């Protein structure tokens, strides 16, 4: 009977030690190795399609008479550019592309979109190329784009995560000089906003909160 009493007195202590160890291990594992939802985005680059729609230049009412611009998109270590834009007076007067640029990025990268006008003069015997003129640029973190991705079922193509058309102000010397319209697509699901959504993250903290709430309720 003494052994049974001793055995019964150890069970609560063993249970407390087990729950403490489990909570500590789960907390450490979340700190040292991020949960599966975070791993998919933090440690691994992914393909992001940048759909370049159009751009407006506020200071150029005579835009059709000027050299058509190109859009340059940089993110991480990659830089790509579009073809020359086409002028459209039917859309309120703007340069249009409807091109897709594919980049490999991570959520911690920053994207830079630059509107550039190549300059060249056609002489009688040859064409003289001059340095390109930068109209303006827009900067934004990739993470801000991921927050706006929404799932879209495209039948044969399957599930794609897309954003709506987003307008970015083009800035030069601290002043707004135009606006560029882009949208974004990827086949990778967007990251979770909180680690609370996964069962093993912050287990010890959540157990502590539950015990505190049950104590207040009693």
pLDDT digit string, tens, across residues 28-53: 444 433 444 444 445 578 999 999 99
- DSSP-derived pairing of the beta strands 150-153 and 86-88: unpaired
- DSSP-derived pairing of the beta strands 175-186 and 150-153: unpaired
Contact status, residue 95 vs residue 86, Cβ threshold 8 Å: yes
The pair phi, psi for residue 18, each rounded to 5°, is -65, -45
Contacts of 107 (CB under 8 A, 6+ apart): 41, 42, 142, 143, 146, 191
Contacts of 25 (CB under 8 A, 6+ apart): none
Residue whose C-alpha is closest to residue 78's, from 41, 42, 47, 39: 47
Helix (H) or strand (E) holding 41: helix 36-42
Within 13 Å, how many C-alpha atoms sit on residue 105's CB side? 27
pTM here? 0.65
Kindly state the average pLDDT of the residues 121-129.
56
Highest mean pLDDT among 53-62, 99-108, 123-132, 149-158: 99-108
Contact status, residue 162 vs residue 184, Cβ threshold 8 Å: yes
Cα 144 to the center of its chain, rounded Å:
5
Whole-number pLDDT of residue 8: 47
- Give bridge partners of residue 121 from the DSSP assignment: 128
CA 164/CA 145 separation, integer angstroms = 10
Residue 18 above 70 pLDDT? Answer: no
CA 101/CA 78 separation, integer angstroms = 11
Whole-number pLDDT of residue 197: 42
Higher per-residue confidence, 123 vs 20:
123
- SS3 at position 124: coil
Whole-number pLDDT of residue 76: 83
In tens, the pLDDT along 73-121 reads 999 888 999 999 999 887 678 999 999 999 999 889 999 999 999 876 5
């Amino acid at each position: 009977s003494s052994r049974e009493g001793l055995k019964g007195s150890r069970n609560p202590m063993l249970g407390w030690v087990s729950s403490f160890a489990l909570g500590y291990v789960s907390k450490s594992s979340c700190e040292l190795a991020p949960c599966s939802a975070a791993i998919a985005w933090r440690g691994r680059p992914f393909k992001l399609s940048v759909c370049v729609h159009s751009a407006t230049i506020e200071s150029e009412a005579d835009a059709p008479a000027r050299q058509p611009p190109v859009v340059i998109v940089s993110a991480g270590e990659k830089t790509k550019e579009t073809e020359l834009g086409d002028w459209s007076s039917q859309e309120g007067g703007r340069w249009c592309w409807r091109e897709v640029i594919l980049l490999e990025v991570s959520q911690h990268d920053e994207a830079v979109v630059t509107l550039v006008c190549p300059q060249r003069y056609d002489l009688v015997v040859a064409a003289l190329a001059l340095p390109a003129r930068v109209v303006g640029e827009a900067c934004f973190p990739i993470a801000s784009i991921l927050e706006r991705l929404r799932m879209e079922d495209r039948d044969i193509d399957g599930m794609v995560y897309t954003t709506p058309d987003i307008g970015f102000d083009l800035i030069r010397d601290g002043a707004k000089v135009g606006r560029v319209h882009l949208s974004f697509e990827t086949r990778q699901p967007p990251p979770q906003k909180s680690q609370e959504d996964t069962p093993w993250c912050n287990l010890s903290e959540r157990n502590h909160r539950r015990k505190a709430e049950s104590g207040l309720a009693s």
